[in-house]
Amino acid sequence: MLPQPTLYTSMAGVAPPGPPVPALDPNLEQFIRQGYLVLPPAGSPQLHGTIYSKAWAINAKGPEETWKLADGVLAAIPELQQVLEVPHVRQALTGVLGDGYMLHGHRHLHVSSDNNQMWHKDSYWGFRKIRKHRPRWLMMLYYPQETTIDMGPTCIMAGSQYWTKNTEHSAYGEDILLPHSGVQSMFLPPGSPSLQSRALQEAKANYLKQDAGLVQDLELTVPAGTCVLMHYDLFHRASSRLPGSPAPERFLVKFQFLRTTEPCPSAHGVLPPSNPAPHQLEPILGDIRAWYCGIQADHPEHGQHESLLSERAKDAEILSGDYGEVEKVAAAYRLGRVGARQLLARALTAEDEGTARAAAYGLTAAGPSATTSVLPLLSAGASNRVRRLAAFVVGETAKPEVSTIATLGRALSEESSNEAKCELLEAIGLVGARARSLGHDDLCNACMLEVLPFLEQSGAAWAKTQTGECAAYAILLAAGLKGQVPPPVLTRLVSVATASHCDHLLATFASEVLRRSGTASHTQYAPPGSQPPSREWPPAKRTQVRPPISLGSLAVKVAPAAPVAPRRPSEPKIAYVVRRPTDPFGQESNVGWTTPEIRLSP
């Protein structure tokens, strides 16, 4: 049995101890270190029992019904909305993602099966993007029933959110770890439990090599009603049900949430906690702690001190040499902290994918001056990878200035790669978000007008428009909490949100901007067969709320497991796997899905 995860502790009303220079909330520190938070049961046992019964009834019609439901699960089980409104769930989401976080349009009802998954990171709603260390996206897993080992719990690799594998030649949006066989598959091959366990251990060892001790495998065996917040890029997998187990089905509902504002600047620095993280992790955490406090300072070039020169030379050697992912990323962050921007910019163009990726993260830690080092790399003469990484760095570091916005817009208009377009669109949105926080409405409008031509739909009811969704997200970032958009953007958003056939995720972004702007409710998009989105998200505080949960010394009173409907004897258990029609790694099962990307994940 694997170790069990630690629990979230409500910090509402608790004054931070110690000196006036603050440390992060302990829950937030836990999240940025380990990549997850386990929240206490959210709501009453009766609520979870109702949700479980409805999920069971959907699944009882046949496994294909669960998959065809796709993003409509919130409409099919409206009681889930009550879980999202529980005060300590909202408090935890706000703590990680800030005020004005948004519920993404993708969500899914997952059912345990007889199949063991390989460790993987999810795609970004079907597409590949540069993975963010700063928490901008997260998943929330909700379990309506008590989840035990024999049900096949979700497994997470705690602490794995900052490192990944080379994926440049992969046709898939997911990052899937490889065992010694080198076979890439979302699922483990059939075989004995010992063989499958060996494959999982091989994959982790190949991934982190001698640094595998920095992560920990955990099984999410949790009480009914538990919500687990996960950094979007945490490695995770679904484990299989134990053969012959009489345990009922294990359901979980996966939600996605995203940050829509930048952290507010703080007048103070941030102290690291008293228990320092491993030296390979501390440079990353230092940057994220500063980012959460709104600190985005340039780090001057150090070079006068001989020891600093020696340390920088060693880090440069690690970054460009034959070292593992963990060492390269830590070295890049250290170089960023001492202002080695030109060195990192050169490493961004390296032939080795891992070196270039690590250099991009290091540049985000170097501060706003890193922007000038990478803006020339947005030109068409650079490789696709370099253009994408450069756009990512600009988005994370650039100050809101007319010249920067114009350069990004020009690069966007000349770009031919959809992946690079998406990074450019998000970069413009993040620059717009920083402009909004400073009250520069003219710069916000300039950002939105640059991305407006890419706010487009395919016209097919099921199709996903990659650049359109990224453009809508960029507008959401630049529009701010009040949805302030210029007239041409408003007109286009209304058209997108009210189209009868559209990419529903794109329409959800558009509807959220319109909701914030106070535009009439008839412009809100609702997928076929669903209820319209809430006029208020996150919901406002109610006059009567559930009392705060006190966990004491991390001890929580566990509610009884929700009553579950027994399986009818005449209904054989069906082992069912749904994959993409083009999946080369396993069987194909055409279930008439309504979206082109369906996965057994997590």
Please give the structure tokens belonging to residue 559.
Answer: 């509610």
- Nearest by Cα to 428 from 389, 473, 383: 473
For the cut 90, the answer to whether the pLDDT of residue 517 exceeds it is yes
pLDDT value, residue 22: 52
Q: Binning pLDDT at 50, 70 and 90, where does residue 124 land? A: confident
pLDDT value, residue 152: 95
For the cut 90, the answer to whether the pLDDT of residue 301 exceeds it is no
Place of tokens 């938070």: 37
For the cut 60, the answer to whether the pLDDT of residue 542 exceeds it is no
Distances (CA, A) of 8 to 155, 197, 535: 18, 29, 29
pLDDT value, residue 409: 97
Mean pLDDT, residues 311-326 taken together: 95
For the cut 80, the answer to whether the pLDDT of residue 464 exceeds it is no
Q: Binning pLDDT at 50, 70 and 90, where does residue 556 land? A: very low
For the cut 50, the answer to whether the pLDDT of residue 116 exceeds it is yes
Of 219-233, 382-396, 460-474, the one with minimum mean pLDDT is: 460-474
Mean pLDDT, residues 132-150 taken together: 97
pLDDT value, residue 460: 52
Q: What is the DSSP string of 4-37?
A: PPPBP---TTPPPPSSSSPPPPHHHHHHHHHSEE
Q: Binning pLDDT at 50, 70 and 90, where does residue 65 land? A: confident
Full-model pTM:
0.83
Share of the chain above pLDDT 70, in %: 78
Q: What is the DSSP string of 42-102?
A: -S-HHHHHHHHHHHHHHHHT-HHHHHHHGGGHHHHSTTHHHHHT-HHHHHHHHHHH-TT-E
Q: How far apart are CA 479 and CA 473, in angstroms?
A: 10
Q: Binning pLDDT at 50, 70 and 90, where does residue 402 land? A: very high
Mean pLDDT, residues 556-585 taken together: 30
For the cut 50, the answer to whether the pLDDT of residue 522 exceeds it is no
- Average per-residue pLDDT for the chain: 82
For the cut 80, the answer to whether the pLDDT of residue 408 exceeds it is yes
pLDDT value, residue 579: 27
Tens of pLDDT, residues 89-107 = 999 999 999 999 999 999 9
Mean pLDDT, residues 568-585 taken together: 28
pLDDT value, residue 24: 73
Contact 330, 279 (CB under 8 A): yes
For the cut 60, the answer to whether the pLDDT of residue 344 exceeds it is yes
- Nearest by Cα to 469 from 71, 173, 133, 126: 126
For the cut 90, the answer to whether the pLDDT of residue 144 exceeds it is yes
Contact 435, 389 (CB under 8 A): no
* Domain-wise residue ranges, the chain: 26-258
Q: Binning pLDDT at 50, 70 and 90, where does residue 6 land? A: low
For the cut 60, the answer to whether the pLDDT of residue 511 exceeds it is yes
Please give the structure tokens belonging to residue 465.
Answer: 């428009």
Give per-residue burial for 196-230: e unless 16+ CB within 10 Å, then b.
beebbeebbeebbeebbebbebbbbbbbbbbbbbb
For the cut 80, the answer to whether the pLDDT of residue 533 exceeds it is no
In sequence order, the β-bridge partners of residue 257 are: 103, 138
pLDDT value, residue 503: 83
Give per-residue burial for 76-110: e unless 16+ CB within 10 Å, then b.
bbebbeebbbbbbbbbbbebbbbebbbbbbbbbbb
- CATH fold label, 26-258: Jelly Rolls (2.60.120)
Of 270-279, 309-318, 569-578, the one with minimum mean pLDDT is: 569-578
Contact 457, 472 (CB under 8 A): no
For the cut 90, the answer to whether the pLDDT of residue 57 exceeds it is yes
Mean pLDDT, residues 439-452 taken together: 97
pLDDT value, residue 62: 85
Instruction: Name the residue with higher pLDDT: 1 or 109.
Output: 109
Contact 443, 432 (CB under 8 A): yes
pLDDT value, residue 171: 72
Share of the chain above pLDDT 90, in %: 65
Q: Binning pLDDT at 50, 70 and 90, where does residue 173 land? A: confident
Asked whether the bond before 602 is cis by omega within 30 degrees of 0, the reply is: yes
Tens of pLDDT, residues 351-400 = 999 999 999 999 999 999 999 999 999 987 899 999 999 999 999 999 99
Instruction: Name the residue with higher pLDDT: 19 or 111.
Output: 111
Distances (CA, A) of 112 to 19, 66, 71, 109: 48, 12, 18, 10
